[in-house]
């Protein structure tokens, strides 16, 4: 199921999602049923591989379960969070920004927390305007595409960068320049040029396609530079209720992810073929393999370097609850015990 709507269409989208998946809220937490919302990009490769290789189902059999997995593709953390809270999905895949937003919003109620990371990926803010060399060069004439305005991890990293540039009081200085555009559409606009979108804070492989497809495209900002090194920008999360009521399904899901991480590390070319097949993606295979083999990309389920962004979001008041460590907003699990 593909969505190219922004936050305005979220309610209708979530309603349609519930019908498409065909599971009622009442049956949402039956052991052996798993509904996952994913988004666009290579950052979701762990899920693509787990799906293609049936790793979750295989791990389920070890738990004595025949797990049925349903998949839905959305765009933007707002839509994903709405789907999770409505009971339309059990596992949400989105950036650390949306995770922290929903963790804060549900603290003491549904208690949404992180399940695992989808790996470490540098996210690039790319511009096709030679005039823009740093974020300080953006003017009111510029438009920056992000998957969800204000909520997405790209938006939060941009705010974090703005705070470092101009001070915490100016953290949202560039928000007025951002527009919600799904990554495939934003990449197409940046490559073609001539549209109001002249910058895109994206993710792999769209950022690499932009750099390869438009000679004017260049990197303005690297998320690793803002966050202080390799970091888990995209993660998976769920409600406490789902985790508590479905321990076997939950364990099988996390184990299936770990299987997928090992598979990608050992078989990058085959993983690239899976991405192309599962997503029906129109991307050069060699470019995709280059992305997967990039030394700055690490496929692992333990989250890394997320706490700085969490502290920033609390410091500027976008989340009310102050996390004392990364473990406040991630479930305790052996697979993620070495996180940060």
CATH number of the domain where residue 283 is located: 3.40.190.10
> Cα–Cα distances in Å, from 54 out to 26, 38, 178?
26, 16, 38
Q: Does residue 16 surpass a pLDDT of 50?
A: no
Q: Does residue 147 sit in the same domain as residue 179? A: yes
Burial classification of residue 73, based on how many CB atoms lie within 10 Å of its CB (0-12 exposed, 13-18 middle, 19 or more buried): middle
Percentage of the chain lying above the pLDDT 70 cut: 91
Domain hosting 166: range is 124-227
276 part of a folded domain:
yes
Find the mean pLDDT for residues 268-282.
Answer: 95
Q: Does residue 86 sit in the same domain as residue 111? A: yes
| pLDDT for res 44 | 94
| pLDDT for res 92 | 95
Distance (Å, whole) CA 22 – CA 28: 10
CB count in 10 Å sphere of residue 275: 25
Q: Does residue 317 sit in the same domain as residue 244? A: yes
Q: What is the total count of domains within the chain?
A: 2
290-321 confidence digits (pLDDT tens) = 999 999 999 999 999 999 999 999 999 999 99
1 part of a folded domain:
no
Tokens for 31, please give them. 């052991």
Q: Write the CB contacts of 95 (distance below 8 Å, at least 6 apart in sequence).
A: 77, 147, 152, 153, 154, 156, 233, 234, 235
Percentage of the chain lying above the pLDDT 90 cut: 82
| pLDDT for res 27 | 40
Q: Does residue 95 sit in the same domain as residue 243? A: yes
Quick one: how far is CA 45 from the chain centroid? 11
Q: Does residue 262 surpass a pLDDT of 90?
A: yes
Q: In sequence order, what DSSP letters do the residues of 25-77 get, joined into one string?
A: GGGTT-TTEEEEEE-SSGGGHHHHHHHHHTHHHHHHHHTT---EEEEEE--SH
Q: Does residue 181 sit in the same domain as residue 78? A: no
Q: Does residue 149 sit in the same domain as residue 270? A: no
244 part of a folded domain:
yes
Q: Write the CB contacts of 199 (distance below 8 Å, at least 6 apart in sequence).
A: 125, 126, 127, 128, 129, 132, 138, 142, 143, 144, 145, 190, 220
Q: Does residue 105 sit in the same domain as residue 14? A: yes
Q: Does residue 18 surpass a pLDDT of 70?
A: no
2 part of a folded domain:
no
Q: Does residue 117 sit in the same domain as residue 251? A: yes
Q: Which pTM value belongs to this model?
A: 0.86
111-157 confidence digits (pLDDT tens) = 999 999 999 999 999 999 999 999 999 999 999 999 989 888 999 99
Q: Does residue 44 sit in the same domain as residue 193? A: no
| pLDDT for res 21 | 42
With residues binned 3-state (H G I as helix, E B as strand, rest as coil), the percentages for the chain, rounded to 5, are 50, 15, 35
| pLDDT for res 39 | 87
Distance (Å, whole) CA 227 – CA 306: 8
């Amino acid at each position: 199921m593909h969505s190219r709507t922004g936050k305005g269409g979220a309610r209708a989208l979530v309603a349609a999602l519930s019908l498409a998946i065909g599971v009622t809220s009442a049956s949402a937490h039956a052991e052996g049923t798993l509904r996952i919302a994913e988004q666009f990009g290579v950052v979701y490769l762990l899920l693509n591989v787990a799906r293609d290789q049936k790793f979750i189902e295989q791990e389920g059999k070890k738990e004595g379960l025949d797990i049925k997995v349903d998949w839905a593709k959305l765009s933007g953390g707002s839509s994903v969070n709405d789907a999770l809270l409505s009971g339309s999905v059990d596992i949400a895949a989105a950036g650390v920004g949306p995770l922290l937003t929903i963790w804060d919003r549900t603290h003491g109620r549904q208690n949404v927390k992180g399940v695992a990371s989808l790996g470490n990926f540098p996210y690039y803010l790319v511009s096709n305007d030679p005039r823009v060399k740093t974020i300080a060069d953006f003017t009111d004439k510029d438009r920056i595409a992000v998957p969800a305005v204000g909520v997405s991890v790209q938006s939060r990293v941009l705010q974090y960068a703005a705070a470092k540039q101009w001070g915490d009081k100016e953290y949202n200085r560039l928000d007025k320049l951002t527009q919600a555009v799904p990554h495939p559409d934003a990449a197409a606009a940046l490559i073609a040029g001539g549209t109001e979108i002249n910058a895109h804070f994206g993710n792999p492989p769209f950022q690499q396609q932009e750099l390869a497809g438009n000679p004017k495209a260049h990197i303005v900002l690297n998320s690793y530079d803002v966050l202080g090194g390799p970091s888990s920008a995209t993660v998976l999360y769920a409600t406490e209720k789902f985790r508590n009521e479905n321990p076997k399904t939950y364990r099988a899901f996390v184990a299936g992810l770990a299987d997928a991480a090992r598979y990608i590390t050992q078989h990058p070319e085959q993983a690239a073929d899976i991405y192309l097949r599962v997503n029906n993606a129109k991307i050069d295979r060699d470019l995709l393999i280059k992305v997967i083999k990039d030394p700055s990309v690490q496929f692992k389920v333990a989250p890394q370097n997320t706490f700085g962004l969490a502290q920033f979001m609390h410091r500027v008041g976008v989340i009310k609850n102050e996390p004392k460590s990364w473990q406040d907003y991630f479930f305790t699990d052996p697979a993620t015990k070495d996180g940060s």
